[in-house]
Amino acid sequence: MLPADEVIKKLVHVLAPYLGENMARAAVRSQADKLGFKHGRLSPADVERLLAAVAPGLGVFVGRDKAQRILDQARAAIGAPGGAP
């Protein structure tokens, strides 16, 4: 289990170079709020749900293939299973 605020912070950090800091923060926080992940701890399944929620919007900006690579980077940064080495 990982602290939600730490997961959000790391995900924003990974997305910021592609979306800009403000857009990355807004996108991640919006999806985290919708999923009820604003506070507390997230399981690996919760992290995957958050990444899946962010994926479609990210894909609009960078394309589906690149979005998948970025989400793999995010998994690695977060320490979630399935991340790129």
No. of helices (H) and no. of strands (E), the chain? 4, 2
Record the pTM: 0.88
Helix (H, G, I), strand (E, B), or coil: what is residue 4?
helix
pLDDT tens for the chain, residues 1 to 85:
889 999 999 999 999 999 999 999 999 999 999 999 878 899 999 999 999 999 999 999 999 999 999 999 999 999 877 654 4
Task: Output the CA angle 45-53-11, nearest 5 degrees.
Answer: 75
pLDDT tens per residue across span 39-56: 889 999 999 999 999 999
